[in-house]
């Protein structure tokens, strides 16, 4: 079982990454993977705050800088700026006040 720190946003970050992985895991080709990832991102665009998006935007969208699970089952996630913007959009889409959490 994966454990995270007591901060509630850490659990939410794990859920966010889980949903991201779940939407792409069955993609049989690289193109299908890209399409599934794009659909996931597109579903969050209504909740994206333009202030969260890096300026200028990066040419290639990457969401995770690092994901690691240690031998104790503790997960560590480092989101890119784009990943953080989509995570905050994901929080807003679920009615969670993303301003309570800062990077």
pLDDT at 62: 75
Please state, in angstroms and rounded to a whole number, the distance separating the CA atoms of residues 11 and 5: 8
Please report which confidence band the pLDDT of residue 58 belongs to, taking 50, 70 and 90 as the band edges: low
Does 21 reside within a domain?
yes
pLDDT digits (tens, 9 = 90+) for 77-100: 777 888 888 888 998 998 887 665
Report, as an integer, the average pLDDT of 16-45. Answer: 87
Q: What is the DSSP letter of 20?
A: H
Domain count for the chain, please give it.
1
Which one has a higher pLDDT value, 81 or 8?
81
**81 domain residue, yes or no:** yes
Residue 2 counted as domain residue: no
Q: The tokens 């991102």 sit on which residue?
A: 41
The whole domain housing 82 covers 8-100
Q: Specify the pTM.
A: 0.64
Residue 3 lies in a domain: no
- Report the pLDDT value the prediction gives residue 52, as an integer from 0 to 100: 82
Q: How high is the pLDDT of residue 60?
A: 52
* 52 within domain boundaries: yes
- The C-alpha atoms of residue 98 and residue 82 are separated, in whole angstroms, by 15
**Residue 38 forms part of a structural domain:** yes
């Amino acid at each position: 079982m994966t454990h995270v720190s007591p901060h509630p946003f850490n659990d939410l970050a794990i859920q966010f990454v889980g949903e991201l992985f779940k939407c792409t895991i069955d993609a049989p080709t690289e193109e299908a993977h890209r399409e599934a990832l794009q659909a996931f991102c597109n579903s969050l665009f209504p909740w994206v705050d333009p202030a969260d998006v890096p300026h200028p935007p990066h040419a290639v969208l990457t969401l995770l800088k690092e994901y690691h699970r240690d031998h104790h089952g503790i997960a560590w996630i480092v989101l890119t700026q784009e990943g953080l913007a989509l995570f905050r959009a994901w929080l807003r889409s679920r009615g969670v006040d993303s301003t309570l959490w800062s990077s």
